[in-house]
């Protein structure tokens, strides 16, 4: 019988800061849109995550930190007591199955719609620049709305939303949290000069544009202890509104990543290429060079199969590997990879919305 664990340490236990993992495989965050309008996780969520607990670490689907931070209907939140109770069922089920799970903290910023915002107000953003694309609202699919620029005086309130969500995640029983500063959402919008045209302390220079991500990370680390906090970055992905890249990717992340070192984070999670798409990089961008700037554990993500993961691990280019879509149809993905079993493929219509079908009805391999 095939046993790939004889040729790589990916299947062996490892440590990510304060997180002891059974192996180096991570289930990447996957939006599945199975919550209700109240954003409360259900027994379905508990079953879904528990089925996949053999991954070394589960990163939750992106979780709204506030009503303002919501950009898609039927996505879960982590700011009300009912949501905390719902997530507690999830974390209890994962722990009972021997797994570890962190909550990915999410504010979508400009990628939202007035029908998703409290009082029907405009979404917030660093600058009043409209995103491209559509989103799912309670009234169906709609083009995202024009945002308004946050006032400087409002930004401490954004940081407070992250602090409150981090506290809620702690009470919900998570093992840690991941700051979502990627994929064209709020923190990423502040980072990029394509979406940040501010002239205050949060705009203009790279140092100013990185300020909010660093303030949020610092605040969340004070709640959890930095060794249970990770951060996700996507230097070259245009997701969420076809967000243009920063004009100088290497300079921006060449500043941000060393600044993150002062916290002593559990890990840096990087989307290598365009999320869910090509691993090809623009001219002049070297993500491996940026990776070397981080003092802690590095989590590679995007288009990984076992061969690529083994190769990059053997070269010392990753510490852990985050895999997304294959986990949808293969709850026992780690065992299938270890023993060379065929992988099931989920149809796209199973990704978002619905109930148990296409969510918790995938069998494990014999």
User: What is the pLDDT averaged over residues 282-286?
Assistant: 95
* CA distance readout (Å), 300 to 61, 163, 212, 245, 317: 17, 26, 24, 20, 8
Give the pLDDT score at 187: 98
> Cβ-count burial of 243 within 10 angstroms (0-12 exposed, 13-18 middle, 19+ buried)?
buried
Is there a catalytic annotation at residue 255? no
pLDDT for residue 241 is more than 80? no
The pLDDT, as a whole number, for residue 1 is: 67
Given this model, what pLDDT does residue 277 score? 86
Q: Residues 196-212: what's their mean pLDDT?
A: 98
SS (HEC) of 115-157: HHCHHHCCCEECCCCCCCCEEEECCEEEECCCCEECCHHHHHH
pTM over 0.95: yes
Span 36-60, pLDDT tens digits: 999 999 999 999 999 999 999 999 9
* Confidence bin at 321 (pLDDT 50/70/90): very high
**102 backbone dihedrals φ, ψ, rounded to 5°:** -115, 155
Segment 220-233, tens digit of pLDDT: 999 999 999 999 99
pLDDT band at 240 (very low <50, low <70, confident <90, very high): confident
Across 76-80, average pLDDT: 98
Give the containing element (helix H, strand E) for 249: helix 249-260
Residue range 242-270, pLDDT digits in tens: 788 999 999 999 999 999 999 999 999 99
Residue range 96-145, pLDDT digits in tens: 999 999 999 999 999 999 999 999 999 999 999 999 999 999 999 999 99
Q: Is the dihedral of CA 95, 332, 267, 46 positive or negative?
A: negative
Q: What is the mean pLDDT of the chain?
A: 96
| Predicted pLDDT of residue 205 | 98
Of 48, 185, 267, 359, the active-site residue reads: 185
CA angle 241, 245, 246 (to 5 degrees): 130
Domains present along the chain, CATH in parentheses: 4-350 (3.20.20.70)
Where is average pLDDT lowest: 215-219, 320-324, 344-348?
344-348
Residue 239 has what pLDDT? 78
* Region 69-78 average pLDDT: 97
| DSSP at 88 | H
User: What gap in Å lies between CA 323 and CA 306, rounded to an integer?
Assistant: 10
């Amino acid at each position: 019988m095939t046993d790939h664990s004889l040729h790589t340490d990916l299947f062996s236990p490892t440590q990510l800061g304060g997180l002891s993992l059974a192996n180096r495989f991570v289930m990447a965050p996957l939006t599945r849109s199975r919550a209700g309008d109240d954003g409360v996780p259900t027994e379905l969520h508990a079953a879904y995550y528990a089925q996949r607990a053999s991954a070394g670490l589960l990163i939750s689907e992106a979780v709204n930190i506030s009503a303002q931070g919501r950009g898609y209907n039927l996505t879960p939140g982590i700011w009300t007591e009912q949501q905390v109770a719902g997530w507690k069922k999830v974390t209890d089920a994962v722990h009972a199955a021997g797994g570890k799970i962190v909550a990915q903290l999410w504010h979508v910023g400009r990628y939202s719609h007035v029908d998703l915002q409290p009082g029907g107000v405009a979404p917030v953003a660093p600058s009043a620049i409209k995103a491209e694309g559509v989103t799912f609202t309670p009234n169906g699919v709609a083009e995202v709305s024009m945002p308004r620029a946050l006032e400087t005086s409002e930004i401490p309130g954004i940081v407070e939303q992250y602090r409150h969500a981090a506290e809620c995640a702690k009470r919900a029983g998570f093992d840690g949290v991941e700051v979502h500063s990627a994929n064209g959402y709020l923190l990423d919008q502040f980072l990029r000069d394509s979406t940040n045209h501010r002239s205050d302390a949060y705009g203009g220079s790279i140092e100013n544009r990185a300020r909010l991500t660093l303030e949020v990370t610092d605040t969340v680390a004070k709640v959890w202890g930095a060794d249970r906090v990770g951060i996700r970055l996507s230097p070259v992905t245009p997701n969420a509104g076809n967000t243009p890249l920063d004009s100088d990717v290497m300079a921006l992340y060449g500043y941000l990543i060393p600044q993150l070192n002062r916290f002593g984070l559990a890990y840096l999670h990087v989307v290598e290429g365009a999320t869910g798409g090509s691993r090809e990089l623009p001219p002049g961008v070297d993500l491996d060079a940026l990776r070397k700037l981080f003092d802690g554990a590095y989590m590679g993500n995007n288009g990984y199969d076992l061969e690529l993961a083994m190769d990059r691990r053997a070269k010392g280019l990753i510490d852990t590997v985050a895999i997304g879509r294959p986990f949808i149809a293969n709850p026992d993905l780690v065992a299938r990879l270890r023993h060379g079993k065929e992988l099931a493929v989920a149809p796209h219509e199973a990704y978002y919305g619905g109930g148990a079908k296409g969510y918790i009805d995938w069998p494990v391999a014999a």
